[in-house]
A and B are shown apart, each in its own frame.
Chain A
Amino acid sequence: MEQVEKIFETRELNVNMGPQHPATHGVLRLVLDVDGEKIVKVTPYVGYLHRGMEKLGESLSYFQALPLTDRMDYVSAMSNNIGYVVAVEKLFGIEAPERAKFIRTIVGEMSRISNHLLWLATHALDIGAMTVFLYCFREREWILELFEMICGARLTVTYPRIGGVRNDISQEFLDSLYKFTEEFPSRILEYETLIDQNRIWLQRTKGIGVISAEEAINWGLTGPTLRGSGVRYDIRKHIPYDAYDKVDFDVPIGTEGDTYDRYRCRMIEMRQSNNILRQCIEILPPGPVMADAPKFTLQPKDIMMPVTHPTKEHAFFIEEKTCKGCGMCLRACPAKAIFGEKKKPHKIKQELCLSCANCYVACKFKALKIIPGGKGLSDEKLAEMAASAAIAEEIKKATELLVEQFTFIKKGPRVPEGELYVATEVPKGELGFYFVSDGSGKPYRMRLRSPSFVHASVLPRLCDGHLVADVIANIGTIDIVLGECDR
């Protein structure tokens, strides 16, 4: 009898969901104890994407750590960059010029829209609405193209800089963006026709993952995940940064604290972001885009351009008296534009030259000269220009500056001693940076407080008493990215 009882012992089914699973948004791993379809216990495991960013940050200067932040929340990299530069600027005690602030607000809100679009797409796909997914990607593509227009990158942008932004935006970009903001509200309506009043959507999201305001705060939730529960907390309003105190926008707040309310909050947030974009385009003041603080910011790159980025306009010329005829440049030239016998001065066939600067790098004797804007001139003219002091001076200055900037980036600026926590409102919630500075150019301690990490911790609470299918809805509703969660 005892034997039989042992055989027919029942226990919960233990399902391992992830780290490779279509609905866990990356490498989140959940261990579910299920009783039939009912969830008994959820245990999240994170860390599969841990890259030791905090440790890395301690060994990099403030300038060098900026691209790390792209790799945290890779679906809204722009917002993370902004969060980082805002925090570092506060630590340095500098302030970005007005125009840069507005540009940062623009790209930050664009990033918010693209993040929410991706969120909606995957959330809807998880619940089974496939078409919304592709509709959202259509508009997200548009935003990414706009990003490409400003900085050449689509995903990991690293566009904002400490003290401003990398480069000014063009009128062409503003026009395209304006077109986007005109079109976008109707596109939101398009998504809503598919799911907003859909009975199945309502049944799947209403009353799922309910969390009360007090509890949500106690868990440390932030962003739309918190606001869905009806808490008026938005850092853009509480501690305004960039240009958020100069634009007018509302913060949507839910009442029930369920998946549907969080969904509505994010939908309205997209509309509000669209409004902010339009206001910023209208207000956008003229002026510089980098702060005038040479001790803390990098010099614009175009001064160093002749050395670092030779364009087609640049001509190269071999100075006869310094050339030893070693043949290094001859071997380095991909276009075979250099000719000459050994031990005798070489020459460049200007019509074949690609201006690739390989010969300039290869030359050990500094016989090669860069002549800005010298393309198409005759050899005699080039020789004359190469001999002139002005051009030599320009190149020398650029080279010196390059070296100087190199060491500056590597070493970092002199930073006042102290500690500082600065948070910004990224699309997912509150992204905080806590710096402990010991006066050197590298942070003594760089702490990244990521919203996804906190939100992932609340999953067991949200899934309490629900069914397996609701786990998916709950993973979607807290909007996590594991790159940011694991850092």
Chain B
Amino acid sequence: MAIVMAKLSESAIKKDPAQIAEKIKEKFPEDVVEITNFRDQGSVIVKKDRIVNICRYLHDEADLRFDLLKDLCGVDYKGKKEPRFEVVYTLYSIRHRHMIRLRAQVHENDPKINSVTPVWIGADWHERECFDMFGIIFSGHPDLRRILLPEDWEGYPLRKDYPLAGPEKEWQGFVEVLEKAKELKEFDWEG
């Protein structure tokens, strides 16, 4: 039988979020903007320019080993903070069982950041979603298209200035469907 029962081992070198943040700050002193902590979860706010280097370091360093990219998403701080956007990387180390969050700042007038797909290939769809919802462009991404919304959608829905009820102008695809429905009305079966 190919299945093993695992009592998960406790031989991990678990690190505090503060320790990890310190390590990042040591290695990339110019890039770290701020370190925050809330409910035992640490975040490191970094500049976007060397994000791939930071991620590569976190992924490869033996006593950090952040091998699992749990989540990647964007946040829009319109009117609250400057720069407006942040790309949030939630990282976890399966071996060492510690977690850290990276928040890379992205400016509104230049919403570009390097893609981390070379480090975690699983970032692929997350980055596409982030592009889809916030319009943040990930340079170096292999296939940056809209993912959840239709390809010809206008606007970026998760931005704070996007109306909740949707845009005033109906999406072209839906307009076409409505026209088609009108056209095919004559075949309706009056049951």
Cα–Cα distance between A47 and B128 once the two chains are bound (Å):
12
1/0 contact string of A265-292 vs chain B (CB within 8 Å): 1001000000000000000000000000
Q: Contacts A234-B8, A238-B97, A264-B3 hold; do A59 and B164 have CB atoms under 8 A apart? A: yes
Residues of chain B within 8 A (CB-CB) of A255 are 2-4
Cα–Cα distance between A416 and B36 once the two chains are bound (Å):
14
Q: Which of A45-97 contact B (CB under 8 A)?
A: 46-47, 50, 52, 54-56, 58-59, 90-91, 93
- Does B6 count as interface, using CB distance less than 8 angstroms? yes
Cα–Cα distance between A321 and B167 once the two chains are bound (Å):
55
Cβ of A218 and Cβ of B2 under 8 Å apart? Answer: no
Cα–Cα distance between A11 and B88 once the two chains are bound (Å):
42
Q: Contacts A47-B147, A47-B148 hold; do A54 and B67 have CB atoms under 8 A apart? A: no
Cβ of A438 and Cβ of B122 under 8 Å apart? Answer: no
Closest CB-CB distance, A296 to chain B, in whole Å?
Answer: 14
Interface SS majority for chain A? mixed
Closest CB-CB distance, B94 to chain A, in whole Å?
Answer: 5
Of all chain A residues, the one with the shortest Cβ separation from B133 is: A54
Cα–Cα distance between A55 and B155 once the two chains are bound (Å):
14
Of all chain A residues, the one with the shortest Cβ separation from B129 is: A453
Cβ of A218 and Cβ of B120 under 8 Å apart? Answer: yes
Q: Which of B19-27, B47-55, B69-77, B176-184 contacts A (4 or more CB under 8 A)?
A: B69-77
Residues of chain B within 8 A (CB-CB) of A217 are 67-68, 94
Cβ of B94 and Cβ of A233 under 8 Å apart? Answer: yes
- Does B169 count as interface, using CB distance less than 8 angstroms? no
Residues of chain A within 8 A (CB-CB) of B70 are 220, 421, 423, 430, 432, 449
Which of A47, A52, A254, A457 has a CB less than 8 Å from the CB of B2?
A254
Q: Which of A420-452 contact B (CB under 8 A)?
A: 420-421, 423, 430, 432, 434, 436, 438, 444-445, 447, 449
Residues of chain A within 8 A (CB-CB) of B9 are 232
Cβ of B8 and Cβ of A432 under 8 Å apart? Answer: no
Cβ of A220 and Cβ of B148 under 8 Å apart? Answer: no
Cα–Cα distance between A221 and B75 once the two chains are bound (Å):
23
Q: Contacts A46-B147, A220-B120 hold; do A447 and B71 have CB atoms under 8 A apart? A: yes
- Does B43 count as interface, using CB distance less than 8 angstroms? yes
Residues of chain B within 8 A (CB-CB) of A230 are 4
Cβ of B148 and Cβ of A46 under 8 Å apart? Answer: yes
- Does B39 count as interface, using CB distance less than 8 angstroms? yes
Closest CB-CB distance, B43 to chain A, in whole Å?
Answer: 7
Q: Contacts A252-B4, A421-B70, A432-B71 hold; do A90 and B39 have CB atoms under 8 A apart? A: yes
- Does B139 count as interface, using CB distance less than 8 angstroms? no
Cβ of B164 and Cβ of A454 under 8 Å apart? Answer: no
- Does B80 count as interface, using CB distance less than 8 angstroms? yes
- Does B62 count as interface, using CB distance less than 8 angstroms? no
Cβ of B71 and Cβ of A421 under 8 Å apart? Answer: yes
1/0 contact string of B82-116 vs chain A (CB within 8 Å): 00000010100010010101000000000000000
- Does B185 count as interface, using CB distance less than 8 angstroms? no
Q: Contacts A421-B101, A436-B75, A445-B75 hold; do A220 and B122 have CB atoms under 8 A apart? A: yes
Q: Which of A206-259 contact B (CB under 8 A)?
A: 214, 217-222, 230-234, 237-239, 250-256
Cβ of B8 and Cβ of A251 under 8 Å apart? Answer: yes
- Does B31 count as interface, using CB distance less than 8 angstroms? no
Q: Contacts A434-B73, A434-B88 hold; do A232 and B94 have CB atoms under 8 A apart? A: yes
Cβ of B71 and Cβ of A233 under 8 Å apart? Answer: no
Cα–Cα distance between A256 and B4 once the two chains are bound (Å):
11
Residues of chain B within 8 A (CB-CB) of A218 are 67, 120-122
Residues of chain B within 8 A (CB-CB) of A55 are 157-158, 162, 164
Which of B4, B39, B71 has a CB less than 8 Å from the CB of A449?
B71
Closest CB-CB distance, B75 to chain A, in whole Å?
Answer: 5
1/0 contact string of A107-118 vs chain B (CB within 8 Å): 000000000000
1/0 contact string of B1-41 vs chain A (CB within 8 Å): 11111111100000000000000000000000000101101
Residues of chain A within 8 A (CB-CB) of B101 are 419, 421
- Does B63 count as interface, using CB distance less than 8 angstroms? no
- Does A98 count as interface, using CB distance less than 8 angstroms? no
Cα–Cα distance between A244 and B76 once the two chains are bound (Å):
35
Residues of chain A within 8 A (CB-CB) of B158 are 54-55
Cβ of A254 and Cβ of B5 under 8 Å apart? Answer: no
Closest CB-CB distance, B153 to chain A, in whole Å?
Answer: 10
Residues of chain A within 8 A (CB-CB) of B7 are 250
- Does B125 count as interface, using CB distance less than 8 angstroms? yes
- Does B149 count as interface, using CB distance less than 8 angstroms? yes
Cβ of B6 and Cβ of A261 under 8 Å apart? Answer: no
Residue from the set B1, B68, B129, B162 with the largest chain A CB neighbour count within 10 Å: B68
Residue from the set B73, B99, B149 with the largest chain A CB neighbour count within 10 Å: B73
Closest CB-CB distance, A425 to chain B, in whole Å?
Answer: 12
Residues of chain A within 8 A (CB-CB) of B97 are 238-239
Closest CB-CB distance, A438 to chain B, in whole Å?
Answer: 7
Closest CB-CB distance, A423 to chain B, in whole Å?
Answer: 7
Residue from the set B3, B67, B97, B164 with the largest chain A CB neighbour count within 10 Å: B3
Q: Which 10 residue pairs are nearest across A and B when measured between Cβ atoms?
A: A220-B122, A418-B38, A47-B148, A457-B125, A449-B71, A237-B8, A219-B122, A50-B148, A250-B5, A447-B73
B residues contacting A by CB (< 8 A) are 1-9, 36, 38-39, 41, 43, 67-71, 73, 75-76, 80, 88, 90, 94, 97, 99, 101, 120-126, 129, 133, 147-150, 157-158, 162, 164
Extra contacts besides A251-B8, A252-B3 (13): CB < 8 Å: A46-B147, A54-B133, A55-B162, A90-B39, A91-B39, A217-B68, A250-B7, A254-B3, A264-B2, A268-B3, A418-B36, A447-B71, A487-B148
